[in-house]
Structure 1
Amino acid sequence: MTKRIIRFSLFLAFVIGCILFIQWKGYHSVEDAAVLNIEQTFTIRHTQDEFVIKQSIENLPEGKYHIHYPPKAKDIDCQLGEDHVCKWEDGKNSQLKVKEGPLTFTYKLKAPMKVNSFLLEDWGITIKEAPSASTRIQLTEQNWRNGSWATGADLAGKEKMEGLDYYVFKAEGLIPPLFWQEQALVPMEMNQHLTIYSEGKPSLKRSIFEKLVPDEKIFVIMSNNISELTETDKLIFVPGGKKNVEKQLASLLLAKKLSFTDEKEWMLDLLVSSLTHTPAHSNKVEKMRETIFTVLTKEQADRWLENILSTDSKTITSQLLDELLEDTAGIKTDFFQKNADMSKPFQPFYFLDKRKIYINGKKADKINILLQNDRTYISFVPLIEMLGFHVLDSSKPKELMIGKNGDKYHFIFSKKLFFKNGQQFGFQRNPFSIDHNEVYFDTAALKGLFDLEVEENSQEINIH
């Protein structure tokens, strides 16, 4: 009895193991299809009113596959290997078991008789378990010979023959859409990932788009037949004769290339206007752009933009924009962080000085240094406290009263005058500056105010 139970258990385990192996083998084969080097070749022949398409798929592993047809495909035929008709797993001809290839489909799509331009989308048969492949498209044109074909793929060859035009395109990934128009299209490679098709020389500054290198290959069709900027898969359609199309295209490519925080709108506006050297849409952003191009030399500004475009950071932030200023131009600032909130007024540009500061020989750790227009500003309240003064009244946001040894000073930050013990005195120029609600004072005015000398070098500032 015991032996019988053991034999039955072993047999049951064997059966379950076989079932699991068969299921794993089928799943594993299909899973491998996504990572193997699947190759497919399309042969497309365009006659007067139809496209006759032959699609051959190589290196497809053994397994079960779900087939998706173009919605308007007709006269579909399927073969496995040289001469074996496909055996479908269901009555809808959508589930197919593959043992060995190649897998070949032939089918037809209706073509319009006469058009100025034409976009052919969703025209290839796709396999759910192997959506991407290395694709070669061989297209012969017998009818629309006065125009040009283009697609979201590299043009590998083009030849005009006696009775037809012959095109070869190569692509990786998904099957790209095909576009034809009556006017001839000439491809121009801007960089290794960006090609622009246009009617002759495109009305775009090449220097701008040479810098905009997408993470994957993108193809642009620029034509007078196109009314507005649109995109589909790896094809972007750009109106040839409209104003600001350069900025629109640059903005679209930047948004594809870079990832932004919630501050995307103004940062994209800033970068596009900086790249194209045109005014920003926002008045505040335009002030930011003008400030940066005033503070930086042309070489520094170009290097700053290049470093933004090539940064390894996954997300562009206002802090990163400030940090890249320091990396490329040696400028320490929080300019973009201060101006990130578009609901608040524009804040002027200050250099954040990293030098150490000493007051009467004692190191001042709480004093910040700002540089603006070749003038040095330091935190005012920490300064006076280190000098022995006390704040008597700071209730008014734009005024301050301090005292020391019976002397009282009253400052009004918006004016070039102050009061000492009730008597009015004046500065040659207003020495105060407000940044993020912190009061800064021009070191050049310390001599006249407190009879202090200021000595500066590249490492430190000494006040005594």
Structure 2
Amino acid sequence: MKRILLICFKFCVTDVEGFDIVNVKELKVRGIPMWRTASLLFVALTTVIGGMLSIQWKAYSKQEIQIDYTETVTQELSVQSSEKDLRITQRITGLQKEKEYKVNIPNELFHWTCINDNGDLCESKDENPQTFLPEQDTLTFQYTIPIQKENASFFLSEWTTTISEVTVRSTDIEIIDTLRRNGTWIAGAPLKGLKELDLIDYYLFTGIGDAPALYWQPSSLKKSQGSQHLAFYSEQAGIDNRLSFDELENLNGFPYLSVVFTNQSVGKSGKGLIVTSPIFKEEDLKRLIADQYYETKFREMPKEDKWLLDVFTAYTAKLEPETEKGRAVFKELNKKLSNEEMMQLFNRVNNESAEITAAKMDRFIYDLKGIHTRFFSLNRSESLPIIPFYYYDQRSIIINEQEKSDIEAIYKEKTLLYPFIETVKGLGFEVTMLPDHEAILVIKDNNSYRFYLNRNIFIYNEEDYGLLENPLTNLNGKYYISKEWLQQLFKVSIDEGEKAIKISI
């Protein structure tokens, strides 16, 4: 920590960064005794020092909080197979001594306890049953997971305890099996070791990040390594020879993935593990693998943005989106972006290490095109109808010298359009949507305009005028008008400046 001030005898003050030396003896304040001057100076210095220490403490505290959020640990899981359950010991290492941690316990875990290195129950600062203090740098949890039927396959996805605000760097899973040796254990992580002894089998899986999914079935499966990141398990040899997923495995950060072909537990998937039927279409499997990639990559994505994964998967796997919203969004993107721009957009997604949101997708398009859109943000809810893709102009709209924060100009192709009703109201016109919803009536002073929404005519002061095109453009139920039509019909002045668009009449 920096020394801010040095207080020496005789009330001499020196700043290590270059403040002038102040000697109390040299202070001459008319009408104030020297001792009082010294006292006032001492109080002032104490206040300054206290303020500086307070600032430093706040900065230090903020730094500590940031360190906590990036805390990383490793974990070891020991799974012992018994007749009716799995008995699990989970050891997390790399924690801070005597710091309080909150644990998250899935409902599927039973007889859960936390113990320290001496075998005693973990301590807590308060009465919260889900907060614990490690004596050293480790917390150990013990629990069981019931198994419904002795000889039935089972799939475990959310099967471990997690700690809030802690990131797991790596996970080792040791399986000790004496009762289910006739079957096969598979995890969503590489198998690093297998020992089959007379009475017991040992498996060791080692993976990156949090605990992968775990699967067991009561029959033998053959393993074949499709690539460094992809392993296949099946009852028949050679099933992987007809599969090619090079375009997926070359994705940035493609995770390790185990794919099981079986008639048991079909349709299950979790971190690093897919269980599917041996009778499959290659494009369906490709979709599952792409889904797994994006689910792993963006596992903390907000729930309302999850439908975006369908769009990512469809583009990457060269397939049609599965959801109605995904198909509509994909169609709009293909209309607005070239093939090269689409490739750049999704490469940006695939190379992104942080979480993807709808708002971030809009920023990616701005970085690509240099023009703003809210396409993804406006379509954030999967249940609502699609809102078309358009770009908007960020310049302020000023009408008759009043800034209109609620008015936003948008682009259709290369034409800038203004919201019709809001703009003409700002110009002082009265606007009425007629009861049949087929025309809009606009009145100011002794002039009236009637715009038909579905016909290329309008009526000005009760005289009909035929047009080659409709002046109004309907975009998702909202009507817009171009600069040219505003000027021609309403004789307005439009000054499109660098930071503001000024419209006046």
Aligned to 2:443: 403
Per-residue CA shift, 1:8-36, capped at 9, x if unaligned?
A: xxxxxxxxxxxxxxxxxxxxxxxxxxx99
CA distance in 1, matches of 2:432, 2:73: 76
Any conservation in 1 of the 2:407–2:423 contact (CA below 8 Å)? yes
Query: Could you tell me which of 252, 273, 276 is aligned with 1:235?
Result: 273
Q: CA deviation at 1:61?
A: 8.2
Q: Which amino acid aligns with 1:296?
A: L
Query: Could you tell me which of 185, 190, 195 is aligned with 1:154?
Result: 190
Instruction: Please give the residue correspondences for 1:420-439 in structure 2 after superposition, counting only pairs within 5 Å.
Output: 420-435=460-475, 438-439=478-479
Q: CA deviation at 1:372?
A: 1.2
1:443 aligns with 2:478: no
Q: CA deviation at 1:231?
A: 3.7
CA distance in 1, matches of 2:417, 2:323: 30
Q: Which ranges in structure 2 are unaligned for 5 or more consecutive residues? A: 1-71, 80-90, 94-114, 122-151, 161-169, 195-201, 234-238
Query: Could you tell me which of 205, 210, 226 is aligned with 2:245?
Result: 205
1:305 aligns with 2:340: no
CA distance in 1, matches of 2:312, 2:176: 40
Aligned to 1:185: 224
Instruction: Please give the residue correspondences for 1:271-290 in structure 2 after superposition, counting only pairs within 5 Å.
Output: 271-290=312-331
CA distance in 2, matches of 1:441, 1:424: 19
Q: Which amino acid aligns with 1:63?
A: N
Q: Which amino acid aligns with 2:189?
A: A
Aligned to 1:369: 409
Q: CA deviation at 1:234?
A: 4.7
**Residue 372 of structure 2 aligns to a residue in which SS?**
coil
Q: Which amino acid aligns with 1:189?
A: Q
Any conservation in 2 of the 1:238–1:249 contact (CA below 8 Å)? no
Aligned to 1:220: 258
Aligned to 2:69: none
Relative distance call for 1:153 and 1:239 in structure 2 (3 A) is same
Query: Could you tell me which of 333, 337, 351 is aligned with 2:373?
Result: 333
Per-residue CA shift, 1:247-273, capped at 9, x if unaligned?
A: 233334433433344535643333332
Instruction: Please give the residue correspondences for 1:113-132 in structure 2 after superposition, counting only pairs within 5 Å.
Output: none
Relative distance call for 1:322 and 1:133 in structure 2 (3 A) is closer
Q: CA deviation at 1:378?
A: 0.6
Q: CA deviation at 1:62?
A: 5.1
Aligned to 1:383: 423
CA distance in 1, matches of 2:301, 2:78: 39
Q: Which amino acid aligns with 2:480?
A: Y
Q: CA deviation at 1:419?
A: 0.6
Relative distance call for 1:246 and 1:65 in structure 2 (3 A) is farther
Instruction: Please give the residue correspondences for 1:61-80 in structure 2 after superposition, counting only pairs within 5 Å.
Output: 63-64=118-119
Q: CA deviation at 1:371?
A: 0.5
Any conservation in 2 of the 1:358–1:463 contact (CA below 8 Å)? yes
Q: Which amino acid aligns with 1:229?
A: G
Per-residue CA shift, 1:379-413, capped at 9, x if unaligned?
A: 223432454x4215335455322223411111122
CA distance in 1, matches of 2:390, 2:401: 26
CA distance in 1, matches of 2:388, 2:317: 23
CA distance in 2, matches of 1:357, 1:333: 17
Any conservation in 1 of the 2:287–2:313 contact (CA below 8 Å)? yes
Q: CA deviation at 1:423?
A: 0.9
Relative distance call for 1:120 and 1:366 in structure 2 (3 A) is closer
Query: Could you tell me which of 293, 304, 313 is aligned with 2:334?
Result: 293
**Residue 236 of structure 1 aligns to a residue in which SS?**
strand
Any conservation in 2 of the 1:138–1:168 contact (CA below 8 Å)? no
**Residue 188 of structure 1 aligns to a residue in which SS?**
coil
Q: CA deviation at 1:275?
A: 2.9
Relative distance call for 1:349 and 1:415 in structure 2 (3 A) is farther
Q: CA deviation at 1:135?
A: 5.5
CA distance in 2, matches of 1:121, 1:335: 39
How many correspondences in the alignment?
342
CA distance in 1, matches of 2:403, 2:330: 37
Aligned to 1:250: 290
Relative distance call for 1:460 and 1:361 in structure 2 (3 A) is same
1:352 aligns with 2:407: no
**Residue 424 of structure 1 aligns to a residue in which SS?**
strand
Per-residue CA shift, 1:326-347, capped at 9, x if unaligned?
A: 3444342222343345554433
> Given the two structures, how large is their TM-score scaled by the length of structure 2?
0.52
Relative distance call for 1:285 and 1:65 in structure 2 (3 A) is same
**Residue 63 of structure 1 aligns to a residue in which SS?**
coil
Aligned to 1:163: none
Relative distance call for 1:301 and 1:65 in structure 2 (3 A) is farther
CA distance in 2, matches of 1:200, 1:206: 13
Any conservation in 2 of the 1:349–1:372 contact (CA below 8 Å)? no
Q: Which amino acid aligns with 1:64?
A: G
Q: CA deviation at 1:286?
A: 1.1
More deviation, 320-329/348-357:
320-329
**Residue 271 of structure 1 aligns to a residue in which SS?**
helix
Q: CA deviation at 1:325?
A: 2.9
Relative distance call for 1:431 and 1:263 in structure 2 (3 A) is farther
Relative distance call for 1:383 and 1:409 in structure 2 (3 A) is same
